Structure 1
Amino acid sequence: MDKALIYPMAAHVALTGLLYVMLTAARAPSVWGIGRHADGSNPWADFEPRISANLSNQFEWPLFFYAACLLMLIQQGVDTPPLVLAWVFVGGRVVHSWVQICTTNIRLRGLVFTINFLAVFGLWLCLLIRS
C-alpha cells in the first residue's frame, strides 16, 4: 500500500483532464462554429463559465491535497486512514464539479467543498501525527 496514494492523485488528474475536454466542447460552437443553434448561438453558453470556474478550482485547494500525498509518499508508508481520506477528497471533487457545473445551488456546493476541505485537513493531520 506504499504507493496507493498515486491512484487517487491520478483520478484527480483524470477529472481535470475531463474538465478540459468539457470546456473545449462547450466553447466549440463559439470558437469553431461546431454545434451552433440555427440562430448562431452557443447551446452551452450557460455552462461554459461554470466549467471554466470549476476547472480553475482544480488548481486551488487540490494543491494542498497533492502536497500532503507527496509528503506521505516520500515518508514511505501510507496506511488506511490517509488513503480513505484521499479517495473521499477525489470523490468530493467529482461531486463538487457536478454541483458547480449542473446546478446553481451555492449551499450544496459549499457543503461538498467542506467535505473536500475536511478530507485534506485530515490528510495533513495524519501527516503531522506521523512526523
Structure 2
Amino acid sequence: MMYQGILLPVFVLVALTFGVLFWTGRRLSLAGGPAQGWFNYHLQTLFYVVVALALPLRQADLVMVLLAWVFVVLQIFHAGLFVRSSGEAAQGSSLFIAGALVLLAMWVYFALRILFPTLT
C-alpha cells in the first residue's frame, strides 16, 4: 500500500489548488480581473492528472467515467459561452463553477477510494 503514502501529498496539493481557485477566483472576478479564463487551464490540468492516476491504479470505474463526461460537457458549454461573449460574460459563469465542483467531486471520490479501500 505504498501508493497511498505517495498519493497523499498529491491530494493535499489538489486541495490547496482548489482552495486558491475558489478564494482568488471569486475575489478576482468581483474586482473585474481575469478569473476563470486563467483558472480554466488549471482545471483541465487537474482533470488530466486525475485520469492519468486513475487508469494505472485501476480506479476508473463507472462513477469516474460519468463524472469525467459531465466535466467535459460543462467545459464544452463554458468554452462556447466564452467564445460567444468575448470572455466578459463567461468570467462569472456558473458553468465554470459547476465544472470545478464536478472535478472536485472526481478528486474526492478518487482520494477516498485510494485512502480507504475498504469503504468501497
TM over 0.5: yes
Q: Among the aligned pairs, what percent are the same residue? A: 21
TM-score w.r.t. the length of structure 2 is: 0.56
Check conservation: 2:77, 2:95, Cα contact below 8 A.
yes
**Structure 2 unpaired stretches of 5+:** 1-35, 115-120
Q: How many residues align structurally? A: 77
2:57 aligned partner: 75
TM-score w.r.t. the length of structure 1 is: 0.52
Check conservation: 2:59, 2:110, Cα contact below 8 A.
no
Residue in structure 2 matching 1:96, options 70, 75, 78: 78
How far 1:57 sits from its partner (Å)?
6.0
Between the aligned partners of 1:125 and 1:57, the Cα distance in structure 2 is 19
Between the aligned partners of 1:67 and 1:106, the Cα distance in structure 2 is 25
Between the aligned partners of 1:93 and 1:106, the Cα distance in structure 2 is 12
How far 1:126 sits from its partner (Å)?
1.3
Residue in structure 2 matching 1:116, options 82, 99, 104: 99
How far 1:106 sits from its partner (Å)?
3.8
Between the aligned partners of 2:42 and 2:106, the Cα distance in structure 1 is 16
1:13 aligned partner: none
How far 1:58 sits from its partner (Å)?
5.5
Considering only aligned residues, what root-mean-square deviation do their CA atoms show, in Å? 2.2
Check conservation: 2:75, 2:99, Cα contact below 8 A.
yes
